[in-house]
Amino acid sequence: MTQPALSLEGVWLSRRGVLVLEDVHLALDPGEVMAILGPNGSGKTTLLKVVLGLLAPQRGRVQVLGASPARARGRVGYVPQHAAFDRDFPIRVIDVVLMGRLHARGLRGGFDARDHAAARAALERVELPDQAARPIGALSGGQLQRVLIARALAMEPRLLLLDEPTASLDERVGGSFWDLLAELSRNAAVVIVSHDIGAVSRNVGSVACLNRRLFMHPSRRLTPDVLESAYGASMDTLAHDHAHHPAPPRGTRGA
C-alpha cells in the first residue's frame, strides 16, 4: 500500500479558548492536488500550520511524508498568503529563492553550484529569470508572490502547501501557475488553499471543504452541495460574488 503524503486523524485544535479545528480527518496521496475551500476564518491557514508543525493539536495524529511534521519539514514547501518580511530589507530576488535551499545546507556553510542551479531553475518556472539581481523591494505584489513560489520550488519538496497563491497574480500568470502545479504533481503532493472557485474546478483532483470541521469530496466537481458545505451559501450567490465569504459559524474566528 502506498504511504500517504499527508494524513490527519481526529485533529482538534483550539486557540485562545476558541475551537478552530474539530475532529479533522484528511488523507492526501503522493502526486495528488487537493484544494481546500472555506470562508475567511474557517481554519484553513491554521490547518496548514498544523501540517508544518508550527501549531500542535490538542488531540489527534498528524503524519507528513510518513513522519512527524517536525521531522518532515525539510521536505515540505510552503507559500504563505502574505510575505512576512521587510520589503525594504536590502536582499536580492535570487537570495530569497536560495532560502528554499537552507534545509539542505544545515550548518555546512554557503550555497554551492547545485543550490544556485535549483534557485535559477525555480525562477525560470515562475517566469522571473531576468529578475534575479533585483532588490526584493522593487517588485510588484504579483512578482513578489512568484518569488515566494520559486523559493518553495527551490526546495524540491515532496509536499507543497500554498495559501492563496494566485491572489496577487494577473490572469496570464495565474493560468501558467496552474500548468506548473500539474507538472509539480508528478513528484509532489500539493495542497492549495484558494477562493478561486472556477480555477479549482478545472485544475485540482479533489476538494476539501473546511469550516472548523472538514468534509472531503473525492471529485473536483463543485456541486451546489459541495459549495454550501464550504461556504454556507448557494452556488448562485457565490457565482455573483466570489469575493464575498459569509461569516463562519460562531466559535471559528481567529483562524
Positive or negative CA dihedral for 113, 115, 121, 123?
negative
Range list of H helices, the chain:
44-52, 69-72, 93-98, 102-105, 113-125, 141-154, 171-184, 197-203, 224-231, 235-240
With 90 as the cut, is the pLDDT of residue 154 above it?
A: yes
The whole-angstrom separation of Cα 65 and Cα 76 is 9
Percentage of residues of the chain with pLDDT beyond 70: 78
Crossing angle for the helix pair 141-154 and 171-184, to the nearest 10 degrees: 10
Per-residue confidence (pLDDT) for residue 120, from 0 to 100: 96
The model's pTM is 0.81
**Confidence class for position 250, pLDDT limits 50, 70, 90:** very low
Cell numbers at 31, concatenated: 502526486
Helix (H) or strand (E) holding 8: strand 6-15
Q: What is the mean pLDDT of the chain?
A: 82
Question: What is the rounded (10 degree) CA torsion for 215, 55, 181, 42?
Answer: 40
With 60 as the cut, is the pLDDT of residue 104 above it?
A: yes
With 70 as the cut, is the pLDDT of residue 218 above it?
A: no
Per-residue confidence (pLDDT) for residue 134, from 0 to 100: 94
- Residues 6 or more apart whose CB falls under 8 angstroms from that of 229 comprise 209, 211, 215
With 80 as the cut, is the pLDDT of residue 40 above it?
A: yes
44-57 pLDDT, tens per residue?
999 999 999 999 99
Query: Measured between alpha carbons, how far is residue 138 from residues 134, 172, 235 in Å?
Result: 7, 21, 40
SS (H, E, C) 43-98: CHHHHHHHHHCCCCCCEEEEEECCECHHHHHHHEEEECCCCCCCCCCCCEHHHHHH
Which of 27-41, 59-73, 157-171, 196-210 holds the top average pLDDT? 59-73
pLDDT (mean) for 95-119: 84
pLDDT (mean) for 111-124: 93
pLDDT (mean) for 82-101: 84
Cell numbers at 143, concatenated: 512578482
Name the more confident of 186 and 46.
46
Ordered by where they begin, the domains of the chain are 6-86+157-240 (3.40.50.300)
pLDDT (mean) for 55-68: 96
